[in-house]
C-alpha cells in the first residue's frame, strides 16, 4: 500500500447524500477479487448511459475533474453493503481522499485498509470545501495528514481529527498484511520453535 503523507490535487464536488456502495461500484462488476480494474466502473450508473456513452454532466466526466484525487461528498457516504470493492474502485480511479460529514462504518474502515483517507467534518466545513471544489481544476486543495489540515485554494485551513493508529498506518503505507509482516521475524521464530517441538504437525 502506498504511503499517504501530503496530497495536493483537484477536488471533485459530489453533494449527493446517501451514496451507497452499489452506486460506487454496482454489483454486476463484482467478478474479481483483484484490487485493480474497477476504476473504469466507479459510479458506473451515474457516469454512463446504457449504450456505454458518458453522461456529460456527471462530475467525474467533466474535463476539469477527470483527474480528481479528492472527493468532497454528501452525508452518509459509503452506506449499503459491506463490499470492499467500493474503496478498491475509488482508489483505482485515483481518488486518495474522501471528505464528508459522515461515513458508513465498514466503508470508513475499509478506506484506511486501501490507502484512502476518509475525513469527517462538520457540515459548515464540508460546505466550505464543496464551494472550493466547485471552482474546477485550478482550485487545488492540499491534504496534510501529518498536520491533520486541509488547505483550500484560497489558503483557508480546516483541521480534522483522525484515529492515531489509522493515521500511522497510512503514513507508513501499512495495510493489514503489512502490519503482520512487521512481525515476520517473531512469526518465523515461533514457527521454528513449533517445528522443533512438534515435528509431526
Q: Residue 161 and residue 125: Cα distance in Å, rounded?
A: 13
Q: Over pLDDT 90: what percentage of the chain?
A: 77
Distance CA(97)–CA(62), nearest Å, equals 19
Report the pLDDT value the prediction gives residue 86, as an integer from 0 to 100. 96
Residue ranges and CATH numbers for the domains of the chain are 6-197 (3.20.19.10)
Q: How many CB atoms lie within 10 A of CB 45?
A: 14
CA distances, 83 to each of 1, 13, 183, 199 (Å) = 19, 24, 28, 40
Of the candidates 126, 124, 112, the one whose C-alpha atom is nearest the C-alpha of residue 73 is 126
The pLDDT of 9-30, averaged and rounded, is 95
- Looking at residue 30, its pLDDT comes to 86
pLDDT bucket at 107, cuts 50 / 70 / 90: very high
pLDDT band at 161 (very low <50, low <70, confident <90, very high): very high
Return the C-alpha cell found at 62.
467533466
- Band of residue 196 on the pLDDT scale cut at 50, 70, 90: confident
Q: Is 160 exposed, middle or buried (0-12, 13-18, 19+ CB in 10 A)?
A: middle
Q: Does the pLDDT of residue 179 top 70, yes or no?
A: no
Q: What is the mean pLDDT of the chain?
A: 91
* Contact (CB, 8 A) for 171 and 144: no
Amino acid at each position: 500500500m502506498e504511503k499517504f503523507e501530503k496530497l495536493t490535487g483537484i477536488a471533485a464536488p459530489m453533494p449527493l447524500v446517501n451514496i451507497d456502495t452499489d452506486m460506487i461500484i454496482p454489483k454486476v462488476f463484482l467478478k474479481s477479487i483483484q484490487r485493480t480494474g474497477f476504476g473504469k466502473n466507479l459510479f458506473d450508473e451515474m457516469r454512463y448511459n446504457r449504450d456505454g456513452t458518458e453522461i456529460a454532466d456527471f462530475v467525474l466526466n467533466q474535463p476539469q475533474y477527470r483527474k480528481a484525487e479528492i472527493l468532497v461528498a454528501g452525508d452518509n457516504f459509503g452506506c449499503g453493503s459491506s463490499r470492499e470493492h467500493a474503496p478498491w474502485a475509488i482508489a483505482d480511479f485515483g481518488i486518495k481522499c474522501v471528505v464528508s460529514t459522515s461515513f458508513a462504518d465498514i466503508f470508513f474502515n475499509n478506506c484506511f485498509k486501501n490507502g484512502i483517507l476518509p475525513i469527517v467534518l462538520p457540515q459548515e466545513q464540508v460546505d466550505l470545501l464543496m464551494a472550493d471544489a466547485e471552482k474546477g481544476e485550478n482550485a487545488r486543495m492540499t491534504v496534510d495528514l501529518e498536520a491533520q489540515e486541509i488547505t483550500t485554494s484560497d489558503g483557508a485551513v480546516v483541521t480534522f481529527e483522525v484515529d492515531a493508529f489509522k493515521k500511522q498506518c497510512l503514513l507508513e503505507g501499512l495495510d493489514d498484511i503489512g502490519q503482520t509482516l512487521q512481525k515476520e521475524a517473531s512469526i518465523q521464530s515461533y514457527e521454528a520453535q513449533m517445528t522443533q517441538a512438534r515435528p509431526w504437525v
